[in-house]
């Protein structure tokens, strides 16, 4: 059984590598580089729409292959721009130039994985709740008070925009490989 799960995981990784633009950790320095702010010119010349479509396409494919995956950042598909796409409540949403404007004083720890480093996981401490400012692809300014799931997800994706990998923030002794990907969905967020 374990051999079958590991074999299936590596088959998924091969398909993702062959059929998407997703960059894996260690394969490209863009994942370690802070991203550029999206400019008005990026909206006007179609760059924002092109990157947003690329992010959604890659996240959809990843979800179809693995059954998991809630967010992706532009550097994960080779784009050095401050753009992320998230998937929550059966809706894809793209955030442009997202910025955390408020963090709760309370922290939470949770086991995270990453599209760019499957099947590596780690328990990571992040603020329990966030408030985030961002632009929509049509240029509208939004302030979002995030729930605990959105806060966790946006904290992870915003780190990508700053060249930070979730494993950099791993709680000591918590890095591990998880081949049963759906088991991550049963992990519970713990307040600390």
How far, in Å, are 20, 73, 100, 108 from residue 116 at the CA level? 11, 10, 23, 23
Query: Of 185, 189, 186, which Cα lies nearest the Cα of 66?
Result: 185
Choice among 93, 112, 150, 157 that is catalytic: 157
Q: Quickly tell me which residue has 């080779």 as its tokens.
A: 78
Distance between CA atoms of residues 75 and 79, nearest Å: 5
Is 11 annotated as catalytic?
A: no
CA gap 139, 131 in Å, rounded = 19
CA distance 146 to 138: 21
Cα 10 from Cα 7, distance rounded (Å) = 5
Tokens of 73: 């950042």
Which positions are annotated as active-site residues? Answer: 157
């Amino acid at each position: 059984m374990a051999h079958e799960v590991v074999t299936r995981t590596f088959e998924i990784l091969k398909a993702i590598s062959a059929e998407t633009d997703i960059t894996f950790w260690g394969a490209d320095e863009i994942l370690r580089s802070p991203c550029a702010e999206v400019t008005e010119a990026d909206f006007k010349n179609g760059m924002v729409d092109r990157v947003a479509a690329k992010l959604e396409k890659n996240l959809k494919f990843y979800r179809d292959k693995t059954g998991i995956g809630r967010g992706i950042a532009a550097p994960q598909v080779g784009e050095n721009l401050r753009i992320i796409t998230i998937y929550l409540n059966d809706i894809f949403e793209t955030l442009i130039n997202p910025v955390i404007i408020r963090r709760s004083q309370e922290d939470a720890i949770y086991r995270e994985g990453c599209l760019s480093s499957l099947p590596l996981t780690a328990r990571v401490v992040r603020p329990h709740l966030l408030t985030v400012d961002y632009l929509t692809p049509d240029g509208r300014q939004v302030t979002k008070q995030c729930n605990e799931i959105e806060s966790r997800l946006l904290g992870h994706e915003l780190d990508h925009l700053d060249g930070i990998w979730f494993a950099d923030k791993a709680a000591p002794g918590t890095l591990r490989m998880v081949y049963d990907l759906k088991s991550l969905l049963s992990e519970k967020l713990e307040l600390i």
